[in-house]
């Protein structure tokens, strides 16, 4: 649903920008970043072709820190690139730069002992434990938090993934 006023949204690890463009087409003021220069260029090109405005730039997820506030932080399927020792620092930064009554909405791959490693698992990927991302938001209102196991064919070989999905709200004062 389009926002009543233009909400500032950050797409963390936007890839080729398809989700960022979806949000921009639906009235959000979108900023997005990704490590891949090819992905960033495609996102810019797709946005131009469709006629939407998004601010897209290249940045390393583990090194980039927010310096401006957003209403919504969104990310799906990239946090497994954050080394364990940087997670608290990064999520503290994301929380600090989320506006009051803002949302952080994330999907994070998690390791399960009964699910074999995906055939296209990258060596740079870091394992997360079930519920770990939720723990960084213990002081926020959990609008939604769930775990899902789903089938995937990303490598051409059918396999399964486990993911934690959450939407957390930055609430101040009494509800």
| pLDDT tens per residue, range 78-97 | 999 999 999 999 999 999 99
Residue 62 has pLDDT above 90, yes or no: yes
Relative to beta strand 159-169, strand 98-110 is antiparallel
Q: Write out pLDDT tens, residues 103-135.
A: 999 999 999 999 998 887 777 678 899 999 999
Q: If we measure between CA atoms, which residue out of 20, 136, 143 comes closest to residue 70? A: 20
Residue 129 included in any domain:
yes
Residue 164 included in any domain:
yes
Residue 4 has pLDDT above 90, yes or no: no
Local confidence band at 173 (pLDDT 50, 70, 90 cut-offs): low
Range of the domain at 104: 8-169
152 contacts 118 by C-beta, under 8 angstroms: yes
Residue 19 included in any domain:
yes
pLDDT of residue 119: 80
Percentage of the chain modeled with pLDDT above 70: 95
Residue 3 included in any domain:
no
Residue 175 included in any domain:
no
Residue 2 included in any domain:
no
pLDDT of residue 136: 98
pLDDT of residue 175: 57
Total count of domains within the chain: 1
Residue 115 included in any domain:
yes
Angle between helix axes 37-50 and 18-25 (nearest 10 degrees) is 30
pTM of the model: 0.92
> Computed from CA positions of residues 40, 41, 44, 45, in that sequence, does the dihedral angle turn out positive or negative?
negative
**Averaged pLDDT for residues 38-55:** 98
Residue 85 included in any domain:
yes
pLDDT of residue 31: 99
**Averaged pLDDT for residues 32-46:** 98
CATH (domain of 145): 3.40.50.150
pLDDT of residue 57: 99
32 contacts 20 by C-beta, under 8 angstroms: yes
Burial of 56 from C-beta contacts in 10 A (0-12 / 13-18 / 19+): buried
> What does the alpha-carbon distance between residue 9 and residue 73 come to, in Å, rounded to a whole number?
6
């Amino acid at each position: 649903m389009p926002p009543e006023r233009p909400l500032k949204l950050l797409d963390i690890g936007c890839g080729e920008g398809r989700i960022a463009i979806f949000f921009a087409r639906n009235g959000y003021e979108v900023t997005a970043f990704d490590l891949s220069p090819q992905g960033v260029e495609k996102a810019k090109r797709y946005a131009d072709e469709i006629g939407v405005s998004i601010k897209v730039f290249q940045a390393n997820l583990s090194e980039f820190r927010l310096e401006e506030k957003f209403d919504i932080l969104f990310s799906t399927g990239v946090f497994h690139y954050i080394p364990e020792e940087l997670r608290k620092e990064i999520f503290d930064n994301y929380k600090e730069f989320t506006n009051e009554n803002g949302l952080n909405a994330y999907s994070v791959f998690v390791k399960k002992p009964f699910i074999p490693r995906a055939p296209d698992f990258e060596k740079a990927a870091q394992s997360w434990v079930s519920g770990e991302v939720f723990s960084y938001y213990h002081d926020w209102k959990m609008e939604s938090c769930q775990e899902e196991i789903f089938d995937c064919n990303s490598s051409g070989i059918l396999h399964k993934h486990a993911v934690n999905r959450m939407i957390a709200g930055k609430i101040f004062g009494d509800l």
